């Protein structure tokens, strides 16, 4: 990181970062959001929870072409942003499909959604160790990472405890059975998760979102119910936020950036049963910089955002750079999508950090 500090402004430059957990959607939504990510990130792991989900290497190839077409339409220079594709694991994913995905060169992970745990997860896995042995063995053998939505979907388990219970019921047995399987514990939200990832043996890492670094669950209820702060896994207590911020800024290579930016139209969030997901791609790196600054650890942002992720995935770090400046601006109330809008996280509030240059 190079840094200049003057009384008028503060800027710093990091290697171009990547987003290791991103929902881009499809169609009009994809066209509306993709340039926001490309402005800041060199690559992103693209989540496969479309309807229907991306379950085959051929579907991932076709989706990648649609993303590239949307990038071109948005005026993003060719090669400036690389989508790293994923498959959606089902009870029926054959080992052959994992082999095809590995051979494709474009699929970099397979996503586990416990059935019913979150948005578009109906086709998800009902019994990981019982039904997915063939796929898991192939992934372990081929070095294909398993990207885990780490929450049980058991209605008798309190929603705030679902990550901790998942560690005991699924994560520990999974990693005992497949000790060489590369696992990313996605969007970590608890102190329990941080402790598990820190002390576990073998190839494990975790992504952390900006909202879980910046907010605790009080943010959902300030002055009334605030649907634009609602995502899954849901925001937790302050003690968990502190543990996440400490992990992200610690320099530990197992923790890296994954926004989980999950755009939904304003109407689908502001209703009697609003969708889960925060739109953070618009201002992601500024949100992370704000969180790191509050911990006094802006110097640790580059490892978290630009180095630890590629190292885990076995990819080179990006050549380019991104320069951020401390110059507060107002987050817009909404971003247009076709004839509707998306409300970004913390809309209307001040954002301290801006991208001023990308090279």
Q: Which residues contact 251 (CB under 8 A, 6 or more apart)?
A: 300, 303
Pick the catalytic residue from 158, 260, 299, 339.
260
Q: Considering the rule CB under 6 A, would residue 188 count as an interface residue with ligand NCD?
A: no
Q: Is the dihedral of CA 34, 39, 43, 47 positive or negative?
A: negative
Q: How many CB atoms lie within 10 A of CB 7?
A: 5
By C-beta, is 37 or 119 nearer to ligand NCD?
Answer: 119
Q: Does 23 bind ligand NCD (CB under 6 A)?
A: yes
Point out which residues bind Zn ion (CB under 5 A).
260
Find the shortest distance in angstroms from Cβ 54 to ligand NCD. 13
DSSP class of residue 136? Answer: H
262 binds ligand NCD (CB under 6 A): yes
Q: Which DSSP state fits 303?
A: I
**C-beta of 281 vs 298, nearer to ligand NCD:** 281
Q: Which does residue 231 touch among Zn ion, ligand NCD, none (CB within 5 to 8 A, set by kind)?
A: ligand NCD
Catalytic site residue 260? Answer: yes
Buried b (16+ CB within 10 A) or exposed e, 328-355: eeebeeebebeeebbbbbbbeeebbbbb
Number of residues that bind ligand NCD (CB under 6 A): 12
Please say whether the dihedral angle defined by the alpha carbons of residues 248, 253, 255 and 257, taken in this order, is positive or negative. Answer: positive
Residue 231 within binding range of ligand NCD, rule CB under 6 A:
yes
> In the set 118, 140, 290, 318, which binds ligand NCD (CB under 6 A)?
118
Task: With beta carbons less than 8 A apart as the criterion, state whether 199 and 176 touch.
Answer: no
Residue 276 partner contact from ligand NCD, Zn ion, none using kind-dependent CB cut-offs of 5 to 8 Å? ligand NCD
266 makes contact with ligand NCD (CB under 6 A)? no
Residue 214, classed as helix, strand or coil, is helix
Q: Which residue stretch of 34-42, 114-122, 212-220, 241-249 sits at the interface with ligand NCD (rule: CB under 6 A)?
A: 114-122
User: Would you say 50 and 25 are in contact if contact means Cβ atoms under 8 Å apart?
Assistant: yes
Interacting span for ligand NCD (CB under 6 A) from 79-87, 113-121, 176-184, 214-222:
113-121
> Within 13 A of 282's CA, how many CA atoms are on the CB side?
22
Does 277 interact with ligand NCD (rule: CB under 6 A)?
A: yes
Q: Which residues bind ligand NCD (CB under 6 A)?
A: 23, 49, 118-120, 149, 231-232, 260, 262, 276-277
Please list the active-site residues: 260
């Amino acid at each position: 990181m190079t840094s200049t500090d003057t009384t008028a402004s503060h800027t710093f430059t990091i290697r171009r970062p990547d987003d290791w957990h991103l929902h881009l959607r499809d169609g009009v939504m994809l066209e509306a959001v993709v340039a926001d990510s490309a402005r800041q990130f060199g690559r992103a792991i693209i989540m496969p929870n479309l309807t229907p989900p991306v379950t085959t290497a051929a579907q991932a190839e076709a989706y990648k072409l649609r993303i590239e077409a949307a990038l071109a339409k948005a005026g993003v220079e060719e090669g400036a942003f690389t989508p790293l594709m994923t498959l959606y694991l089902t009870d029926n994913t054959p080992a052959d499909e994992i082999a095809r995905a590995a051979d494709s060169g474009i699929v970099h992970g397979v996503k586990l959604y416990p059935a019913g745990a979150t948005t578009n997860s109906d086709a998800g896995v009902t019994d990981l160790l019982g039904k997915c042995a063939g796929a898991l063995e192939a992934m372990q053998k081929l070095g294909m990472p398993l990207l885990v939505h780490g929450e049980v979907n058991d209605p008798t388990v309190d929603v705030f405890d679902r990550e901790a219970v998942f560690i005991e019921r699924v994560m520990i047995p999974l990693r005992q059975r497949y000790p060489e399987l590369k696992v990313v514990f996605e969007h970590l939200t608890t102190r329990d998760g941080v402790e598990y990832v820190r002390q576990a043996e073998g190839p494990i890492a975790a992504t952390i979102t900006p909202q879980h670094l910046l907010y605790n669950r009080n943010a959902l209820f300030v002055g009334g119910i605030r649907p634009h702060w609602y995502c899954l896994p849901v925001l937790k207590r302050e003690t968990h936020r502190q543990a996440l911020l400490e992990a992200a800024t610690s320099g530990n290579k197992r923790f890296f950036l994954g926004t989980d930016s999950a755009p939904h139209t304003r109407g689908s969030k502001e209703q009697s049963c609003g969708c889960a997901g925060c739109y953070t791609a618009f201002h992601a790196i500024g949100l992370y910089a704000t969180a790191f600054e509050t911990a006094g650890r802006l110097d640790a942002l580059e490892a978290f955002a630009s180095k630890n992720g590629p190292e885990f995935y076995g990819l080179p770090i990006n050549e380019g750079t991104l320069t951020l400046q401390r110059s507060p601006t107002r987050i817009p109330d909404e971003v247009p999508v076709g004839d509707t809008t998306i409300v970004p996280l913390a809309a209307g509030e001040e954002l301290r950090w801006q991208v001023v240059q990308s090279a």
